[in-house]
Amino acid sequence: MRLLTVDTSTSTCSVALTRDGRLAAEYLVDSGRTLTERLLAAIETVLAAGALELAELDGFGVALGPGAFTGVRIGVATVKGLAIATGKPVAGFSSLAMLAMNLPFSPLPVCPLFDARKNEVYAGLYRCDGAIPEPLVPDRVLSPVQLLEEITGPTIFVGDGALRYRDLIETNLHEGAIFAPSYCHLPRAGAGALLALELLRSGEGTPLPLLNPAYLRPSEAELAKIRREMP
């Protein structure tokens, strides 16, 4: 199965082309403020590197979030448009599960964290003793202090949220706080492609009407609307 997988849930733009789970090409770059242009260019680059046309793909994968509101929205909208144009299936997956996949076959729980700003993190907790992570709790947004109150044993932390709050995590968990190596902290579409492949092979692709970002909390625009409507 030839898949094109996209992740734009953080400042890193990542696109991967895989054949039956094997990586054929991957593009990874700090997207900055030119995400739309870089994403389309990245898609063209990996397809050219893999000597494939868009019509030759068998499906798509995309990270649904949580993560940056604008980034997730652009990634999901782009993949949805490509799926409509080609008629190929799509599998959406958690961006935190994708990040946890940087630590496969771990004997300890893995806690992927994205910095959610406002002194909060997007957090997951996964069992990663196999190739595909299994969620131990639902992905959520909460303060680092709340998160650490719930973690009782040695845990591996990964992601930009783990790096931002490293001192706090170490102060609370001491030797129970283990941090992934530096190269593990970037989410990679190549890892997400395995999640998408697993879903598509099991018939759990995402219907296009249901292919929507998983924000976990209201955007600033939604909060402003709520405030305007309050009596």
Q: Report d(CA 165, CA 125) in Å as an integer.
A: 16
Q: What is the pLDDT of residues 164-184, one digit of tens each?
A: 999 999 999 999 999 999 999
pLDDT of residue 223: 44
- Res 130 pLDDT > 80: yes
Q: Report d(CA 152, CA 13) in Å as an integer.
A: 34
pLDDT of residue 171: 97
Q: pTM of the prediction?
A: 0.92
